[in-house]
Amino acid sequence: MAGMKRRDFLKQLAALATLSQLPGLPVALAQLEMDDALAALLQELGKSADMTVYRADPLNAGSPLEPLRATHETPADIFYVRNHAPLPALDADSWRLEVDGLVERPLSLGLAALRRDFPRHEQEATLQCAGFRRQEMLNEDNAGGALLWCSDAISNGRWAGVRLRDVLEAAGVQAGAVHVAALGLDEIVKGAATFGLGGSITLEKALGDELLLADELNGAPLPAAHGWPLRLVVPGYIGARSVKWLGRLTLQADQSDNHYQQRAYKHFPPDVSAETADWPAADSLGELRLNSVFISPEADAELPAGPLRLAGIAIDSQPVAAVEFSLDGGASWQAAGLSGEGRWSWRFWAAQVDLTPGDYELVLRARDQAGNTQPEKVEEIWNFKGYMTNHWQRRSIRVV
């Protein structure tokens, strides 16, 4: 915090936190008005000042889009951050991962034991928030306080650690275990209750080779903002299932009863409102949905006539097979080039076009290996929580 006393920093941070949560204010207003406080906060957490901060306390920040596509592995300093509570203060020596529930041998594992007793593995995987692209579905009037993410709540990393499956097998899974519930050590306050973020996945998913208990990101120790000392990494699923600051794994017959499994991250059809939602009956969100976004050009850009490079990202819970773009609002389509072949990671797409002066409506869609494509209109997938926005993305530009 060079150039700023800690007392002054905390004052500015408190003011910033209050400002960033006021209803009816643009999500970027805090960043524009409180640059010094934001810069100090981001620096303290090892984050770039180029990130878009949607909320300061707890920190929620999106990745800068152009740098996001510059490298397949997102650098830790621009990796998006989604928090429901402040970062917990944990001690590496006293921290333990508890494994209990329907197991033969309950375990209490420190970092040294995890690293000593289990084989290490790496897994490249993209994490994406369930609220990705929410501002294309909801606005300040109907978001109900939810963060209006754009296309920046996504990042790709090379994770290292031990396989979840190996730890579960060491504990001995009992008959009757159907779900693995994970619980973080953060402290979320809702009314009179304080609890960590948690959720569950099926045991079938948990036994996949791709799931890790990760203590490294991109070849370096896991940053505090991303779950140090240990986080669960669940490739192909919404980011909320990759629980940070992991403290407990419980094998059980039913889904987790955690708030973030039962009262958040659920699917509702367009005709359901916050007042009519039947939370217990709704399906929990899990697998990512086929999606593609523009990184360049920017929306409403005015560009010179001639060659123009279109570029962006595509993601799914299975490999993306193709990306198509339109220059005329969807009347005709062209294929974009794809790079990257990772089973659990995003793919970059790009295309070179030559444009004459005029107004253009760019449209984007992806296809999976089964030939499925994204829904065309937001009305098809609208839900009052703004989850899983994945309709065709549109972008208007003017060429002069």
The string of DSSP letters for 32-49 reads HH-HHHHHHHHHHTT--T
pLDDT of residue 11: 42
Tokens of 278: 């039947």
Residues 6+ apart with CB under 8 A from 192: none
Residues 6+ apart with CB under 8 A from 372: 290
Least confident of 15-19, 252-256, 341-345: 15-19
pLDDT tens digits for range 89-101: 999 999 999 999 9
- Whether the CB-CB separation of 347 and 320 falls below 8 Å is answered with yes
Tokens of 128: 């994406």
Say which CATH architecture domain 97-262 belongs to: Alpha-Beta Complex (3.90)
In eight-state DSSP terms, residue 301 is: -
Average pLDDT, the chain: 92
Residue 29 has pLDDT above 50, yes or no: no
Burial of 195 (0-12, 13-18, 19+ CB in 10 A): middle
Residue 25 has pLDDT above 70, yes or no: no
Residue 146 has pLDDT above 90, yes or no: yes
Residue 382: half-sphere exposure toward Cβ, Cα within 13 Å: 15
* Cβ-count burial 359-396 (b if 16+ within 10 Å, e if not): ebebbbbbbbeeeeebbeebeebbbbbbbbbbbbbbbe
Residue 24 has pLDDT above 80, yes or no: no
268-to-82, 109, 136, 278 alpha-carbon distances in Å:
22, 38, 17, 9
pLDDT of residue 341: 79
> What percent of the chain lies above the pLDDT cut of 70?
92
- Rounded to whole angstroms, how far apart are CA atoms 48 and 59? 13
Residue 20 has pLDDT above 90, yes or no: no
pLDDT of residue 8: 42
Tokens of 364: 């984007």
Tokens of 309: 């490079």
Residue linked to tokens 């089964």: 370
Mean pLDDT within 211-235: 98
pLDDT of residue 31: 36
Tell me which fold the domain 291-399 belongs to: Immunoglobulin-like (2.60.40)
Residue 349 has pLDDT above 60, yes or no: yes
pLDDT of residue 127: 99
18-to-13, 62, 146, 149 alpha-carbon distances in Å:
9, 19, 15, 19
pLDDT tens digits for range 234-292: 999 999 999 999 999 999 999 999 999 999 999 999 999 999 999 999 999 999 999 99
pLDDT of residue 15: 41
Closest alpha carbon to 55 in 147, 176, 179, 168? 147
Residue 16 has pLDDT above 50, yes or no: no
Which stretches of 129-274 are DSSP H helices? 164-171, 203-206, 259-262
Band of pLDDT at residue 338, cut at 50, 70 and 90: very high
351-to-67, 220, 341, 364, 396 alpha-carbon distances in Å:
18, 34, 18, 12, 17
Residue 12 has pLDDT above 70, yes or no: no
- Rounded to whole angstroms, how far apart are CA atoms 154 and 133? 10
Residues 6+ apart with CB under 8 A from 388: 130, 132, 238, 267, 285, 289, 381
pLDDT of residue 2: 36
- Rounded to whole angstroms, how far apart are CA atoms 336 and 354? 14
Tokens of 316: 């799914």
Band of pLDDT at residue 33, cut at 50, 70 and 90: very low
Tokens of 152: 């920046």
pLDDT tens digits for range 36-50: 888 888 999 999 999
- Whether the CB-CB separation of 379 and 347 falls below 8 Å is answered with no
pLDDT of residue 21: 40
pLDDT of residue 28: 37
Helix (H) or strand (E) holding 10: helix 6-20
Residue linked to tokens 């939370």: 279
Three-state secondary structure string covering 50-90: CCEEEEECCEEEECCHHHHCCCCCCCHHHCCECCCCCCCCC
Residue ranges of the domains in the chain?
1-44, 97-262, 291-399
pTM: 0.91
- Whether the CB-CB separation of 315 and 288 falls below 8 Å is answered with yes
pLDDT tens digits for range 161-171: 999 999 999 99
pLDDT tens digits for range 284-296: 999 999 999 999 9
pLDDT of residue 39: 85
- Whether the CB-CB separation of 149 and 139 falls below 8 Å is answered with no
